[in-house]
Structure 1
Amino acid sequence: MNEQRLPNSLPRPDGEFERLKEVWRTPTGWRFFKSVNNTSIGLLYIGTALLFFILAGILALVMRVQLAVPDNTLLSPETYNQVFTMHGTVMMFLFAIPIVEAIAVYLLPNMLGARDLPFPRLSAYAYWAYAFGGLAFFCTIFVGLAPNGGWFMYPPYTGEQYSPGLNADFWLLGIGFIEISAIAGAVELIVGILFTRAPGMSLRRMPVYAWAMLVVAVMIVFAFPAVIAGTALLELERAFDWPFFIADRGGDPILWQHLFWFFGHPEVYIIFLPAAGMVSTMIPTIAGTPLVGRRAIIVALVGVGFFSFGLWAHHMFTAGLGVLEMSFISAASMAVAIPTGIQVFAWIATLWNGRVQMTSPALFLMGFMFIFVLGGLTGVMVAVIPFDWQVHDTYFIVAHLHYVLIGGMVFPVFAAMYYWLPLVKGQRLSEKVARWVFWLMFGGFNLAFFPMHITGLQGMPRRVYTYDSQLGWDFLNLLSTIGAFVFAFGVVLFIVDAVRTLRRPEKEVGNPWNAPTLEWLTSESYGNHSIPRITSTNPLWDQPTLSEEVDRGQHYLPGTATGLRETIATSPVAGEPRYLMVLPTDSWLPVVAALGTAGFFLLLTVKAVLLAWIFGFMAVAGTVAWLWESDRKPPIREARVADDLVLPVNAKTTASQSWWGTIVMLVVDACIFASFGYAYVHVSMRLMVCPPPGASLPSLPWQLASGGLLLLGSALILLAARAIGKRRLPWLVLLALGCTAASFLLDLRGHQFAGLDPTATAWAAAIGALLSYQGLHIVVLAIAGPYLALRHWRGHLGEHSRATLDNVSLLWHYTTLQGIAGMALVNILPLLME
């Protein structure tokens, strides 16, 4: 190891590996579905995402058959609206984002040299919520209840007046589990990447793919809250007549576009950046040489993530924004091409430096670069405002979108499946069949979507279910339909080859591509026999004996120190060992909680309120039970993970992975609150006078009393945190809960005395949304407070097992800050507008 002494140099005890295998054994038969190991969940995740890709593709073929010839009556206008809405929704929400998180869940622990990610049950919950809810949501198309307002769901078309049925509600409530699943995955990835890397893997040695997923997870944390807030506001309007988007009562449909596209345009890069990370991982292997411009690529990844949040109005050039605002967005839309171009040139330089082997992954990567660059060029074109005015809502935009998304994500994902499938059973897909798959997909794609640029320039609008034969679009649409079926045949051929390959006997994985990254060390479901010490960015190339050393248990944690599942937690920057992280084992509880979550949202949609609350209780009970099981006192305080290294078992407060997971969740929480706050500011700015005539603010004494009780509740929680192990702790917590609940009741009463009717004006409704969100937090604290007290009474809280106390304290203090911030915003903004 480059003349460095190995962490474990003494002979290993007998039976050490067998005990490790037993602890990490994957359940078989029907019990497999309670597994929480990243390899099991990752494979289920990938398989389910590919299923939705196929289903969305079938919907696309139905659309292309409808548009193949003019004046076609295969689909009615309403059915076509449902089909294209479901196609876009399934592709974006049920395939594109889940597939990139799924591949990360499967690959990252082994690529980072860890045994698993820090919250395995959270990963399992995220998957099962997605699977249950997604399959139920898709089935709405078979009963005529599928959403029909486009995957972007613009009001007023999706408001109660123009969409009175349940179709829009299925999108608004049914998509909630996808948002929850994506955010849960982001929390897992951020904490896992920062705290579970192999010893010695500093940030500068971390794989580019891990950097890409870290940037993407942070983007999800800041982007997804906007669409969560937007869907909540639109559902409140539909269900309770709170007029956020109804212009006659002070609302504004453009508010939805701001909230949706603040999520929607970063989402394009949330989809692209993981693919770019995979490309940066595969290209050095294909070329047989280190990645050119590695640091520049990492900076470019961060730059794309940063610029993406300045582009949301890129989709709103025709919405009536001011010239200055559109100019800034146009400039940012062009600027984002610079960091993207840096990555493309670095990939080309790497291929130029090496000796490229034209294997199946190489073919798909070449196709990706060709298609994605064309999509990027048309992206720069639509960033030019006058040009965008001409092609907005035409098939030119459809072509651009698919060149970016399919070229930028689907082709790299197929390259990744050819590249990493040997990790599953040691078998490679057929190279001969791969060439047929690639050329069918590449040729079919370009035949399908390139003509759409021309039909768009000729004026063919998006989202039309048919067209007149005299418009001259017949031949180009027929070509697009033929191309779509050629592309689909390539996908079918891939599926047949994948099924055939996965049915072959399992064999040793090895390193079939001579890759430099750690995932090719993997030989078991738990990763490696020992966790390696890393000294370079390309460890399998620069440490040629690493595989043998790891298999002999000569590195860190060759067995199980506690008799439980474990991995080593390292420092976030330098990657030095900090403590031994004990991980939870397999359980049905995440499945139960996920089923309850999906059932709650979907049953609310069909107005089965009682049954929905039963499922909601199931979700809460399942989550509470799994948290109760997970937060246990470790069997020992310290563990020897190497002959010369003893680490503490688990950590507390700011060193704990659960503390940081809570912090990330609270950032999400704060972004949702900020989105509600933005809605209040937006509708207030549209008023001639604020407050509007006939409305008034809650009186100051009510607000001061409410804020004082919130602060008192937080002070009591601070006292409780210092009273750990003492009998007064649960009583302080329950007293704090009483103060916080009383604060909300006073705030609510103040709003009632002020006569704020959320059905009267959008301004009052926006204040009601802020108050309702605070009320939701009070409900959560009403569960967390007694739970914390019960854990103390049962003897599960102590100085070395205080994660529940620390995390509940964070949530409590955040609720206090949010309540005070909401009251300040409501009262101060009208003063500033006088």
Structure 2
Amino acid sequence: MSTTAASTPGASREDLARLEERWAERPSLRSWFSTVDHKRIGRRYLVTAALFFVLAGLSALAMRTQLARPESRLLSPQEYNQLFTMHGTAMIFLFATPMLFGFGNFLVPLMIGSRDMAFPKLNAFGYWVFLFAGLFMWASLPFGAAPNGGWFAYVPLTEERNTPGLHMDVYTLGLLFLGIATTAASINFIVTSLKLRAPGMSLNRVPLFVWAIVATAFMVIFALPALNVDNAMLFLDRRFGTHFFDPEHGGNVLLWQHLFWIFGHPDVYIIVMPALGIVSAVLPAFTRRGVVGYALVVFAMASIAIISFGVWVHHMFATGLPPLSYGFFSAASTIITIPSGIQIFAWLATMLLGRLVLKVPLLFVIGFIVTFVLGGFTGAMFALTAFDQQVTDSYFVVAHFHYVLIGGALFPILAAVYYWLPKITGRMYHEKLGRWAFWLFFTGMHLTFFPMHLYGLFGMPRRVYTYPDEPGWGGWNLVSTAGSYLLAIGLLLVLIGVIHAVRRGRPAPPDPWGGDSLEWSTDSPPKPYNFPVLPQVHSLHPTWDDASRTSMTEGATDDRILARGRQTLVTSELDGRRERTVEMPEASLQPLLLALALLVFFTALLFAWYPVAVGAALVVASTIAVWLWPPRRPDQELGVSA
């Protein structure tokens, strides 16, 4: 259903040579540090997030080993608290969202028929900040100074008098540092998706994965400031003696929870939303039809993005707020299940009406639906105030949380790994090894987390490093620990499968699955310029549409080849009408230098080297000024009057 871009008659050999010269980055050490190619940056996001995932996963295994039997002494309370906090913080902030944004970085320009992201240098800057922020936080663990107040960091437990040392300073500064990268990436996704779509790609022809990324980006823009303010105030409380959360001086301890969950509940959907987009992207290739109810699915995404901001007190039903308020937030928490259900039924209808091709990516999609629906059932239970108050701070909450996030994010991420691995690497994976990985992971996941519902109902509290030999706790904990090792073996097989594919996998054709979106009309892996001829889109499924495919192979004009410079097209927001061409920036070291200056700034704040922090801030300001300084026009360089 697709053609190889390199063989298209729409672009001459001279055009292809000029495109290669303009877009290719010569292999060198400098190129490695200065690249602005969205595909290279996307791959780096994926690899780096996977490495942080491994660290967080090993932390989880250590904790589950500690909890396998009552009164275990494998970890001290201090070690457990640090591993517990870093596990949650890394999974939420350093793995899930960056991993999904990594797929977005690689795929969004390809899916919309563009040659790069709207702001390539900002894209590179976001990656370097993400890498340095993650290293900033993980580097504290070997020195016993890692965050230790839980990924939620509730005050007053995390105030200086209760948690002395650098632990929570690492947390607050690390998340403030990371927030810069997440914000930059979100702005980039929004502008790219609205302005760089191929001609003819009106909003009703945008792939569902791109819709999911855009909805997520808007959620980040509105949710992240609350978390940033929260962390800034906690850092000021701890370091400079302000009293934002101190009731004795007019502060309020619940202010932290309000601000945190104003970010925190949308963040659940910030994590899940791109994963839902992945499911909608994978299904057409393995059902041989488009997703049922395209408009309803887009509406559901937008609804979730909006409603998710109105349910934060769902997490605070046990804090003693006025009971009248609970009714409003309980209703909102119940209503948000409706758009989620719309998507579930759309996917089930797609599979029912299509012709299933049971490959590994589809297995992970089916595993996602089963697990996510089970997590949704317990989520609806938490929307009921009376039930929520009974199980608050028990392992029942832990079980629900992992069913939603592993079911809602990790299953789709693994589906995406297998689905787009041929496009990213140019190599096919081993199908049988992938099936073994799926079944071990699926079995291990449910064996690990389903028993937590039971011993949570039996009264076991969460966030404890050990427990007494009470009836009904020890045996189920041992089952969970055994399941965690089975889950880890499944993930190890995924890693082995990826390495095997990269080293020994057979070469992948441009479109091994018969996919419906534009990335499958390019080479595997894509050329540096993505498309020799920018497509003219005529339908929602362009690679299944003869007119869209033909636009890249026949009758191509210079205004869609754009071989005279490093250019891509800017189109209108609503209907994808051509507006103008835009020159894209070359590779640059400025993103790396700016990220390094920020690393020095936050490190200096951590160790109270305030003169160094001031110097680093000046370097940051100077680098931004140089970056944004308008270049001289050619006529100015030649001394010609405008």
State the TM-score, normalizing by the size of structure 2. 0.95
Q: Deviations over 1:593-625 (max 9, x none)?
A: 111112211221122223333433333333332
**Structure 2 equivalent of residue 721 of structure 1:** none
- Give the whole-Å Cα distance in 2 for the aligned partners of 1:91 and 1:12: 45
Which residue is 2:411 aligned to? 411
Per the alignment, residue 127 of structure 1 pairs with 127
Counterpart in 2 of 1:550? 552
TM superposition shift of 1:247: 0.7
- The 5-angstrom pairing of residues 40-119 of structure 1 reads 40-119=40-119
Deviations 1:248-282 (A, max 9, x none): 11110100101010000000001111011111111
Task: Mark the CA change 1:61 to 1:168 in structure 2 (over 3 Å): closer, same or farther.
Answer: same
CA distance in 1, matches of 2:436, 2:105: 30
Distance of aligned partners of 1:459 and 1:505 in 2 relative to their CA distance in 1, 3 Å threshold? closer
**CA deviation profile, 1:745-795 (whole Å, cap 9, x unmatched):** xxxxxxxxxxxxxxxxxxxxxxxxxxxxxxxxxxxxxxxxxxxxxxxxx99
Residue 246 of structure 1 pairs with residue 246 of structure 2: yes
Q: Report the equivalent of 1:28.
A: 27
Partners of 2:329 and 2:57 lie apart in 1 by 32
Alpha-carbon contact 1:532-1:556 (below 8 Å) kept: no
Report how many residues are paired. Answer: 630
1:563-602 alignment, distance < 5 Å: 563=565, 565-602=566-603
Q: 1:103/1:634 Cα in 2 relative to 1: closer, same or farther (>3 Å)? A: farther
The residue number in structure 1 matching 2:627 is 626
SS of equivalent to 1:429: coil
Distance 2:254 2:72 in 1: 34
Contact 1:174 1:602 in 2 (8 A): no
Q: Which residue of 2 aligns with 1:683?
A: none
CA distance in 2, matches of 1:53, 1:352: 35
Q: Is the 8 A contact 2:23 2:528 kept in 1?
A: yes
The SS at the match of 1:525 is coil
Decide whether the 8 Å contact of 2:115 with 2:529 is kept in 1.
yes
Question: 2 CA distance for matches of 1:22 and 1:200?
Answer: 28
Question: Among the aligned pairs, what percent are the same residue?
Answer: 43
Distance 2:87 2:539 in 1: 44
Return closer, same or farther for 1:548/1:427 CA change in 2, 3 Å cut-off.
Answer: farther
Residues 264 and 553 of structure 1: CA distance in aligned 2, closer, same or farther (over 3 Å): farther
Verify the 8 A CA contact 1:531 1:556 in the aligned structure 2. no
Q: How far 1:548 moved relative to its partner?
A: 5.9
**Contact 2:82/2:146 (8 A) holds in 1:** yes
From the superposition, tell whether residues 546 and 409 of structure 1 become closer, same or farther in structure 2 (CA, over 3 Å): same
Correspondence for 1:526 among 525, 529, 534: 529
- 2 CA distance for matches of 1:584 and 1:593? 17
Aligned to 2:491: 491
The DSSP-based 3-state class of the residue aligned with 2:494 is: helix
CA RMSD of aligned residues (A): 2.0
Residue in 2 aligned with 1:219? 219
Query: What is the CA–CA distance in structure 2 between the aligned matches of 1:502 and 1:26, rounded to whole Å?
Result: 21
Kept in 2, the 8 Å contact 1:595–1:619? The answer is no
Give how far 1:10 is off: 11
Whole-angstrom distance in 2 between the partners of 1:360 and 1:137: 35
Q: Paired residue for 1:475?
A: 475
Counterparts of 1:101 and 1:457, CA distance in 2: 36
Amino acid at match of 1:498: V
Structure 2 match to 1:281: 281
Q: Which has the larger radius of gyration?
A: 1
Contact 1:286-1:356 at 8 Å conserved across structures: yes
Alignment partner of 1:18 is 2:20: no
Q: Quick one: distance in 1 between partners of 2:590 and 2:258?
A: 38
Q: Secondary structure at the match of 1:239?
A: helix
Partner-residue secondary structure (3-state), 2:510: coil
- Partners of 1:634 and 1:10 lie apart in 2 by 35
Residue-by-residue CA offset, 1:412-449 (whole Å, 9 max, x unaligned): 00001100011123212111001110011000000000
Q: Distance in 2 between matches of 1:579 and 1:799?
A: 25
Task: Indicate whether 1:393 and 2:393 are aligned.
Answer: yes
Flag the 1:34–1:10 CA change in 2: closer, same or farther, 3 A: closer
Instruction: Give the Cα separation in 2 of the matches to 1:284 and 1:418.
Output: 15
- Secondary structure in 1 matching 2:532: coil
Q: Which runs of 5+ in 1 are unaligned?
A: 1-8, 637-793, 801-834
**Secondary structure, in 3 states, of the residue corresponding to 1:470?**
coil
TM-score, with normalisation over the residues of structure 1?
Answer: 0.73
Q: 2:4 — aligned with what?
A: none
Code of the aligned partner of 2:618: F
2:329 is aligned with 1:329: yes
What secondary structure sits across from 2:580 in the alignment? strand
Q: Distance in 1 between matches of 2:407 and 2:555?
A: 42
Per-residue CA deviations over 1:138-176 (Å, capped at 9, x if unaligned) read 011110000111101111111111112111100011221
What is the distance in 2 between the residues matched to 1:117 and 1:530? Answer: 17
Higher relative contact order (CA 8 A, sep 6+): 2
Quote the residue 1:193 is aligned against. 193
* Cα separation, 2, equivalents of 1:556 and 1:340: 44
User: In structure 2, the residue corresponding to 1:155 is in which secondary structure?
Assistant: coil
The separation in 2 between residues aligned to 1:94 and 1:635, in whole angstroms, is: 43
TM-aligned CA deviation for residue 494 of structure 1: 0.9
Aligned to 1:788: none
CA distance in 2 between partners of 1:358 and 1:376 (Å): 25
Q: Identify the residue that residue 147 of structure 1 maps to in structure 2.
A: 147
Does the CA contact (< 8 Å) of 1:530 and 1:553 recur in 2? no
Structure 1 residue 559: Cα displacement: 4.0
Deviation at 1:562, TM superposition (A): 4.6
CA distance in 2, matches of 1:167, 1:32: 33
Where does residue 723 of structure 1 map in the other structure?
Answer: none
Q: Are 2:421 and 1:421 aligned?
A: yes
Partner SS for 2:139: helix
C-alpha change, 1:92 and 1:558, in structure 2 (3 Å) is: same
Contact between 1:117 and 1:192, CA under 8 Å: does it hold in 2?
A: yes
SS in 1 for 2:402: helix
Deviation at 1:15, TM superposition (A): 1.2
Relative to structure 1, is the Cα distance of residues 226 and 464 closer, same or farther in structure 2, using a 3 angstrom cutoff? same
Structure 1 residue 126, shift from structure 2 partner? 0.4
Residue type at the aligned position of 1:409: A
